[in-house]
Amino acid sequence: MPKINTKQIKKMLFSDIELLLTNLNIDYEIMGDNIYSTCPVHEDSDNSRAFSLSTDKELWRCWTRDCHDTYGTDVFGLIQGVLSQQSGQDVGFKKALDFACTILNIDRKNITIDKEQEPDGFVKLVTMFSQSKKFVPTSTRNRYNLTHPSEYFLSRGFSEQTMLHFEIGDCYDKSSPMHHRAVIPIHNDDGTIVVAHIGRSTKEYRTPKFLFTKGFDKRHFLYNYHRAIGQASETSLLFVTEGQGDVWKLYESGITNAVSIFGKSLSEQQQRKIQQSGVTRLVILTDNDQAGRESKTQLCRQLGRMFKLEFPRLLRKDIGDMSVDQIKDTVLTQVRGAF
C-alpha cells in the first residue's frame, strides 16, 4: 500500500466527518458548511453552539472557553482535545493520529508524518525556538513602539510599579498588529529572550480579546517562570494561576513565586517543567467558577501524586479581581510558608 501523509489523513477525515464525530461521541447539528455542538473538550458544556466546525475551512473553534487555543484548530487538535477530556490526561499528537488511523482502517505503518504536523517532536521545538530568536527582540518597547506603563491596566487597578516590573505597555501605532492593545511580553525560562507577546484589546470592537504573536505555542511555556523560579526553589512552593493578571495581583500582595498556565489546562510540556523545577508544593488558584472547578479536578489528576496541592478559597471570581488586602486576609492566611 502506498504511503499516506497527514495532510491526506485530514482530507479523509473531513470527507466522512460524521464518522469522526460519531467515534468521538459528539452529538451535533449540521447547518450548511458548519457543524455545531456543545463543546466536547471542556466538561459540562451546556451551550449548544459553543463548538463549531467548518467543513469548508477544515477548522474548529470553542467559542466559550477557547479550547482550540490549547490543542490547535485543525482536526488533529480536535481529536487531541476530545480524547484528553475523555481520558482525564493530556493526549499528544501521536495518539490522535493512531485514533484517526483506527477509524479510517489505515495501517499506522503506512503513514508519513509532516514535520510541521508533529507538535511533540524535536523538529518542532527546534523550529519554534529558532523562529523566536529571529522575530522577537529582547526589548518589548522596540518591537511594538509601546507607551509604558499601560494606561489600560492602570485603569483596571494595577499599580504603575507593577506595570513597569512586568514591562506592560499600550500600543497606539496604527500600523502595528497590536494597535489598541495592551501588550504583555512572554519570556523564555531564563528570561533572556522575549519569545512572544500577548495583546489584550483595549477597545470592545477590537477582536479577538487576546492576540498572541503568530507561531507562539503556549503549551511550552509558563508565564513569569523566569522571575518566579528563584523564590519557588527557595521555598519549594509555586503558585499556579490561570492568567497573567492573577500573577500581577499576587506580586502586589508580596508573592513573587507565581506563574500562569495561559488558561484552564496544563499541557504535558508545562507539567514536565513544573516537575523539573524542584518544588514540592503547589498552590492552585484557578478561577472561582465552573470552568475553574473543572480545572482543579484536572490538575488534581495530573499533579496529585507528585506534589502537595493546596486550593485556597477565593472571595471573588479570580485573584485578579481581588484587592491586595483581600488576598492577604483570606488567601494567604490559608497558605503558610508560601512567600
Tens digit of each residue's pLDDT (9 = 90 or more) over 102-138 = 999 988 887 876 644 544 443 344 344 444 443 333 3
Answer whether residue 339 shows pLDDT above 70: no
CATH 3.90.980.10 in the chain is located at 138-216
pLDDT digits (tens, 9 = 90+) for 262-319: 988 899 899 999 998 889 999 999 988 888 888 888 899 899 989 999 999 888 888 9
Alpha helices (H) in 262-318, listed in sequence order: 268-275, 290-303
pTM of this prediction?
0.61
Ordered strands of the 29-31 beta sheet:
29-31, 34-37, 51-54, 59-62
Q: Is the pLDDT of residue 334 over 50?
A: yes
Least confident of 82-96, 104-118, 195-209: 104-118
Please write the tens of the pLDDT for every residue from 78-88. 999 999 888 87
pLDDT at 70: 78
CATH 3.90.580.10 residue ranges for the chain? 4-120
CATH number for the domain formed by residue range(s) 138-216: 3.90.980.10
- Give the C-alpha separation, 94 to 105, whole Å: 16
94 neighbors 121 (Cβ within 8 angstroms): no
Q: How far apart are CA 64 and CA 208, in angstroms?
A: 13
Taking the chain, what is the end-to-end CA distance rounded to the nearest angstrom? 61
Q: Please, which pLDDT band fits residue 43 given cuts at 50, 70 and 90?
A: low
Give the class (CATH, top level) of 4-120.
alpha beta
| CB 296 within 8 Å of CB 286 | yes
Please, where are the H alpha helices in 72-178? 75-87, 93-104, 122-135, 140-144, 151-155, 160-165
Residues of the chain with CATH 3.40.1360.10: 225-334
For residue 141, give the amino acid letter.
R
CATH topology of domain 225-334: Dna Topoisomerase Vi A Subunit; Chain: A, domain 2 (3.40.1360)
For residue 45, list its beta bridge partners.
Answer: none
pLDDT band with cut points at 50, 70 and 90 for residue 152: very high
Task: With a cut of 80, say whether residue 186 has pLDDT above it.
Answer: yes
